Structures are given as C-alpha cells and as structure tokens.
C-alpha cells in the first residue's frame, strides 16, 4: 500500500510502513494470538478455521489458513457467514463468539497495516438470549447428581466443580501442587483462568480432606483428575460427559454442562448470604485491586464457604 504526500507543488509516493512483516494469514494469526493462553489460542484459531472453511467450502480440519486471503474478505462475506451459522441452528452465543473472534483478527490486521480496511467494524453480532435462569440447578438437583455418582473420581470432580466454581479449562490445567493447606483445616486452590488470570479459592475442610485422601502421596506435578485409560489429565469433553451423565442419572432435563455448576455456585452462595464481592472474587469475574492482592494471597474467606456443603 502507498501513501501520496504533497510537498509544495511536488507530489511524492511513499510506501505505508507496516508494523510487522506478514506473509499470510497463518502468520497474522500467530501474531494476533501471541501472549494469549494456550486455551484461548486453541479457541480463537478454531473460530478462524470455521470461517475459512465456510469461504473455501472445505471441512475445518482440512483448511490451510494461508489459503484464506483476509485482504479479499468483504462485509458481504461476514454477513453471509453470520446467516449461514443461523441457518445451521448454532446458538446465538456461539455465533457471537465466532464473529467476535473474526472481528478481532480483522481489527488487528488493520491496526498493524496488513489490511487496508477493517471490514469487521460494521458487522453486527447477535445478542444472545439471556438463559441464565434456565442454567441454574437447585440445591437438591446438585446433591442428587453427587449422591448418584458412585465412581470416586467423578464424584469428587462434581464436588470440586460446584464448590470452587472452577471452569472446565481450569480443571484441565489443575495439578496437585495447586492445592495447598490454608488454615483451620481448610485448603486452598490456585486456579488458572481465562486470559492467564489466576485466583485463589478456599476449599472447605471436608472436601479438602477428601482431596488429600484421593491423591495420597502422588507427585505434586501430576494432574488432579486423570483419565483411567491413559493416565493423562481429563479433557474438556470427558469432563462434560461426566457432568452430563450425572445430570441424566438425577433425572434433570436439558443439556447440563459443567458451567451450570458454576452458575449454581454463584446463585446458591448469594442465596445463603455470601457477600457479592466474595462471589465475584471466587468466580474470577474481575481483577482485584493492587492492594487487595496481599490480603488474598492466603485468603480466609470465599463464597465456597457459603454454598451447600457437599
């Protein structure tokens, strides 16, 4: 791309300086994702692959990212992709996330002067329907899910998800070294969340003792919840299946996911009198002020102490 600069009566043509050398879409994506967590990189790249698969009429697993030339993408393409996802019955929240990923990539490409225009700027994204109330289990449902799960690992996983409000990605990364004694017999767990943010959550005495008994003298660098077949950390799909199967045993309708237990933690904690700021802190919805980092390095309060004992 060039810029035309007029000096007096003379006109000169100079190249517009890019902020980075980019040879194709794959390299642009690598620059865009640099510094993001491994889980975020995986999610964002998958979103781009779905878009590329639509434009190139290929399966997302077969797409070569450099075959997609983002410099030729138009607003028409983006709107057509949005309509395509809607006709496929994709949930509005999923459609919004995929489109926001593409908009972010296009915005980044324009910012570093790889793209002449940011065509994503004018793309409207779906407004997801608020279904939060539908995804909150009552205390009896949570207790029944746990009671009817007899496999020790799965039972402990359900308790941990509900009590700590951990996300699936945080469970995948959880290692024994992240769980430590706190005080008064309680434990604490350091969870590594979205955007490389960490938070510390108190583990009530009973659950902490169960965890210690379950882990025994295992190597602290090993994952807490492992697959029985391969001995590796449980993957997201496996965690989702454990929760889904527990919900079916309990006779709960709907596609219950691990995130439902997180929503339930927040609702039950507030219902039982937990201060809202503790729920916010436990769920990691916002960063803590600098001065509060010291107080929470070894916390003694958490909304995990307010929810139903399991």
Any idea which residues carry the catalytic annotation? 167, 194, 259, 262, 285, 294
- Give long-range contacts, CB 8 A cutoff, 24+ apart: 276-284: 278/302, 278/303, 278/306, 279/303, 281/199, 282/164, 282/165, 282/199, 282/201, 283/165, 284/191, 284/193, 284/194, 284/197, 284/199
What backbone torsions phi and psi does residue 83 show, to the nearest 5 degrees? -65, -40
Contact predicate 86/95, CB 8 Å: yes
The encoded tokens of residue 192 equal: 């590594």
Non-local (6+) Cβ contacts of 196 within 8 A are 36, 37
Token pair of 68, please?
Answer: 């997609």
Asked if 92 and 126 touch (Cβ cutoff 8 Å), the reply is yes
Angle at 198 between CA 106 and CA 41, to 5 degrees: 30
Note the helical H segments in 120-257: 139-147, 152-164, 168-173, 205-215, 236-249
Pairwise CA distance, residues 180 & 171, whole Å: 16
Q: Of 240, 204, 239, which Cα lies nearest the Cα of 225?
A: 239
Coil/strand/helix, residue 199? strand
């Amino acid at each position: 791309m060039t810029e035309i600069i007029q000096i007096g009566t003379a006109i000169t043509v100079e190249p517009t300086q890019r902020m980075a050398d980019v040879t194709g879409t794959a390299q642009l994506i690598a620059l865009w994702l640099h510094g993001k967590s491994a889980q975020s990189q995986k999610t964002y790249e998958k979103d781009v692959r779905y878009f590329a698969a639509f434009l190139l009429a290929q399966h997302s697993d077969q797409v070569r990212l450099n075959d997609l030339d983002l410099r030729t993408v138009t607003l028409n393409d983006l709107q057509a992709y949005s309509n395509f996802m809607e006709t496929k019955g994709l949930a509005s929240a999923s459609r919004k996330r995929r489109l926001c990923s593409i908009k972010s990539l296009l915005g980044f490409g324009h910012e570093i002067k790889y793209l002449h225009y940011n065509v994503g700027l004018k793309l409207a994204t779906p407004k997801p329907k608020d279904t939060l109330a539908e995804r909150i289990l009552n205390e009896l449902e949570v207790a029944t899910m746990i009671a009817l799960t007899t496999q020790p690992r799965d039972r402990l996983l359900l308790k941990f998800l509900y009590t700590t409000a951990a996300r699936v990605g945080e469970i995948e990364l959880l290692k024994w070294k992240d769980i430590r004694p706190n005080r008064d017999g309680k434990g604490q767990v350091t969870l590594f969340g979205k955007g490389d943010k960490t938070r510390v959550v108190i583990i009530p005495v009973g659950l902490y003792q169960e965890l210690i008994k379950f882990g025994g003298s295992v190597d602290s660098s090993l994952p807490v919840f492992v697959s029985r077949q391969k001995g590796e950390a449980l993957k997201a799909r496996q965690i989702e299946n454990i929760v889904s199967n527990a919900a079916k045993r309990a006779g709960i309708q709907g596609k219950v996911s691990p995130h439902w237990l997180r929503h339930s933690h927040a609702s039950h904690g507030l219902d039982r009198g937990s201060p809202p700021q503790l729920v916010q802190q436990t769920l990691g919805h916002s960063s803590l002020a600098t001065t509060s980092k010291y107080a929470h390095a070894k916390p003694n309060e958490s909304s995990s102490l307010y929810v139903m004992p399991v």
